[in-house]
Amino acid sequence: MHYHGPEPADLANVFVLNSAFIAWQRTRPPEEHRGRALPPEIRARLGALSGRQRERLGRSPFLLMSFAEDDEARWQSLFAEQRTRDLLECLQLRDDAASALVAAGLGFLWQLAQRNPYAVRLLSGASLSWCEQLSACTLMDLYSRALEDPMLLAPRMVDKPDIWNRLLTAGVSNRREARRAARVAALQTMLTQRPPRKYRPLAAAACRLPPVKSRSSGGHRQ
């Protein structure tokens, strides 16, 4: 089976979305940074970036914004929700700028999941099952469920300040090798981090098993 990564046009869309997300993060007042937010020192460093450094950060090969793709409970509720909304009915938007980012980001992932779910996995760390459920929605249903969620949009890997420190230092460096190393480290972390799962121990683990009987010395040796 062949897996195709993101195409140049897909990465171009990621860079545009990242730039818009960086601009939104920089303009938000401190009191609005609640819930899933970057630590204050990381926000200060982000705000101090020059225009050239913001451009380099935006060219990270994955989405800097997260839609809580790994929050299974939240998305199962959104995917399972059944309601019919009039196309002209107004959504209860909490923030026009944030809602525009959610609409653009999810719309991008929605169309990409239908033609290349593996690319969605590489760009957002989303599971393939999430991609399948996302692509099964209509775009209007997706918007009607997601745009009213006040906590859906957040920085990706918000619980990994070390990764953000690296992205905001080496990741915006003048040296291409340093930027590449920071991006690879962040991408690897995104693709390997998964929420902890609890496994029920097998009942057989507590059982006493009879010892294995060895063959007699007169048997044929292999």
Q: Percentage of the chain with pLDDT > 90?
A: 56
Q: How much is the mean pLDDT over the chain?
A: 82
Q: What is the pTM of this model?
A: 0.81
Q: Which whole number is the average pLDDT over 210-222? A: 48
Give the β-pairing of 65-66 and 154-155: antiparallel
Query: Cβ(116)–Cβ(124) under 8 Å?
Result: no
Cα-Cα end-to-end distance for the chain: 39
Q: Which residues pair with 65 in a beta bridge?
A: 155
How many CA atoms lie less than 13 Å away from 42 in the CB half-sphere? 19
Q: Indicate the Cα dihedral angle 103, 105, 108, 111, nearest 10°.
A: -60
For 114-145, the pLDDT digits (tens) are 999 999 999 999 999 999 999 998 888 888 88
For 174-188, the pLDDT digits (tens) are 999 999 999 999 999
Sorted by where each begins, the domain ranges of the chain are: 8-195
- Take residue 112 and report the two structure tokens written for it: 């990409």
**Least confidently predicted of 55-64, 76-85, 102-111, 203-212:** 203-212
